[in-house]
Amino acid sequence: MSSEAFRLWLAEAAARVGAHSAACIRMDNPLLKKRIVENNALVSDWLKAGLHGEMDYLERMFAAKSDPWKTFPFARSVIVLTFTNRWGDPAATHPFPPPPDDALLGYISAYAKEVDYHSNGQAMLGELKTLLGENIEAEAAVDTKAVYERLFATVGGLGVIGGNDLLRVPDRTNVRVFIGCLFVDAELPEVIREPKMPFACNDCLACIKKCPTDAIRFGEPIDARKCISYLTIEKRSVLNRKEGEMIGDWLFGCDECTVVCPPKDKVDTRIPVDLEWLLKTPAAQLRRLIRSNAVAYAGVTQLRKNAVVLLKKSHLPAAGELLDWVDKKTGSALIRDQYTAW
């Protein structure tokens, strides 16, 4: 197949599986090798500085991420997809019941809507593998394997890295896409795009200005320890008082730096959650409810720990009453430790 024919085929295949855009990179691409080496140095320094907080898995995965040729020894090419999973779509659905008007609320990031993006991305890449043919050996990666997904996406010309370290694509008004990589054993023609961005990130910096915790600073690596998404999802230990203040009213994730990669959303696409419902509904029932949702990664105990933090900051009588109930009923050591921490 000629390069032009493959370019057309890839565009059609990407649209067929529901992707937003696609690129194909040869694993012997010299720019890819150069960018991997450069990124390894940056990530190594970031890890040594401890800016990853409790995300120890990033240290464990570093060796595999730093050498994709060893991690995927069979691979001759990699196809990179971006997909939206309806992130930012006000009509996107989620499994959480609507809260009563007088409910004590916490919020979940808008990206945790629809079916978990990991599952959707894997399904897309699986369908793409089928379209490539039966004799193709391939391995898919969607945010859980040792892959620099954003790096591959930028080498493929699908977008640029914004100030918040997320991929910003040229033909959407925000950064809200996910990335999947399909490593294949075939030497496919390269499909490298040229992202024509409507404006440069350095001319905007809205995401940096909007960050409420100063986790994002211009020209500096992100300090994950100050990031609300990290604090609510990845930090599995007790939040101290300062961290508790940092998370605002978030239970899972944060949308502050994504909704302002202009323009700002016209509607609030966060997911409101009734804290009383979250704390009093049987855990097994909650686990079934969130099983195919992105919040399953955090789990019920983590969500409830964060709910306790939000209640402790509230001065409403209903919050105190709910905390008293937690004190009497919780069987979780982590939740109890959070309750008594400050």
User: Per-residue pLDDT for 326 more than 70?
Assistant: yes
**Average pLDDT taken over every residue of the chain:** 95
Q: Residue 9: what pLDDT?
A: 97
Q: Are 23 and 153 in contact (CB under 8 A)?
A: yes
Indicate the angle between helix axes 300-313 and 317-329, nearest 10 degrees: 140
State the pTM of this model: 0.95
**Span 62-72, pLDDT tens digits:** 999 999 999 99
Boundaries of every domain in the chain: 3-93+113-199, 206-341
Confidence of residue 198 (pLDDT cuts 50, 70, 90): confident
| CATH class of the domain whose range is 3-93+113-199 | alpha beta
- At residue 163, does pLDDT exceed 70? yes
> Residues 6 or more apart from 288 whose CB is under 8 A from it?
none
pLDDT tens, 164-187?
999 999 876 555 899 999 999 999
Confidence (pLDDT) at 134: 82
> Which of 257, 234, 40 lies closest to 166 in space, CA to CA?
257
Residues whose CB is less than 8 angstroms from the CB of residue 342 and which lie 6 or more positions away in sequence, other chains included: 240, 241, 244, 312
pLDDT digits (tens, 9 = 90+) for 225-272: 999 999 999 999 999 999 999 999 999 999 999 998 877 778 899 999
pLDDT digits (tens, 9 = 90+) for 72-110: 999 999 999 999 999 988 899 999 999 999 999 999 999
Residues tagged active-site: 143
Over residues 27-58, the pLDDT tens digits come to 999 999 999 999 999 999 999 999 999 999 99
Q: Is the pLDDT of residue 207 over 90?
A: yes
274 pLDDT more than 80: yes
- What pLDDT, on a 0 to 100 scale, did the predictor assign at position 267? 87
Average pLDDT over residues 299-325: 97
With cut-offs at 50, 70 and 90, classify the pLDDT of residue 202.
confident
Query: Residue 249: what pLDDT?
Result: 98
Q: What is the reported pLDDT for 201?
A: 86
Residue 212 pLDDT exceeds 80: yes
